[in-house]
Structure 1
Amino acid sequence: MTTIEKSVDVRVPVTTAYNQWTQFESFPGFMEGVEKIDQLDATRTHWRTKIGGVVREFDAEITEQVPDERIAWRSVDGPDQAGVVTFHRIDDITTRVHLQMDYDPETLTEKAGTLLGIVEGRIKGDLDRFKEFIENRGDETGAWRGEVPRAPQAGETASPGSRGESLR
Structure 2
Amino acid sequence: MSASLVETVDIEAPVAVAWALWSDVTRWPTFLSHVRLVERLDERRFAWQLQLPGADKNFVAELTEVIAEDRIAWHTVEGVHHAGVVTFHRLGDTTSRVTLQIEYDPKGFIEHLGALTNLDSTLANYDLGEFQKLAETAAAS
Does the TM-score normalized on the shorter chain lie above 0.5? yes
Identity of aligned residues (%): 35
Larger strand fraction of residues: 2
Render the CA deviation track for 1:84-119: whole Å, top value 9, x for unaligned: 110000000001001111001101121011100001
The answer to whether the 8 Å contact 2:58/2:80 transfers is: no
| Structure 1 residue ranges without an equivalent (≥5) | 141-168
SS at structure 2 position matched to 1:37: strand
Query: In the alignment, which residue of structure 1 is the partner of 2:44?
Result: 43
The answer to whether the 8 Å contact 1:16/1:139 transfers is: no
Query: In the alignment, which residue of structure 2 is the partner of 1:17?
Result: 18
Query: In the alignment, which residue of structure 2 is the partner of 1:59?
Result: 60
Q: TM-score, with normalisation over the residues of structure 1?
A: 0.80
Q: Shift of the alpha carbon at 1:139?
A: 7.4
SS at structure 2 position matched to 1:109: helix
Q: TM-score, with normalisation over the residues of structure 2?
A: 0.94
The answer to whether the 8 Å contact 2:7/2:100 transfers is: yes
Following the alignment from structure 1 to structure 2, what is the Cα–Cα distance between the partners of residues 95 and 26? 20
SS at structure 1 position matched to 2:78: coil
SS at structure 1 position matched to 2:42: coil
| Structure 2 residue ranges without an equivalent (≥5) | none
Larger Rg: 1
Following the alignment from structure 2 to structure 1, what is the Cα–Cα distance between the partners of residues 36 and 69? 26
Instruction: Tell me the matched-pair count.
Output: 140
Larger helix fraction of residues: 2
Deviates more, 1:26-35 or 1:92-101: 26-35
Following the alignment from structure 1 to structure 2, what is the Cα–Cα distance between the partners of residues 25 and 11? 23
Following the alignment from structure 1 to structure 2, what is the Cα–Cα distance between the partners of residues 139 and 111? 40
Instruction: Tell me the amino acid that sits aligned with residue 86 of structure 2.
Output: V
Query: In the alignment, which residue of structure 1 is the partner of 2:80?
Result: 79
Q: Calculate the aligned-residue CA RMSD, in Å.
A: 1.4
Moved over 6 A (4+): none
Q: Shift of the alpha carbon at 1:11?
A: 1.1
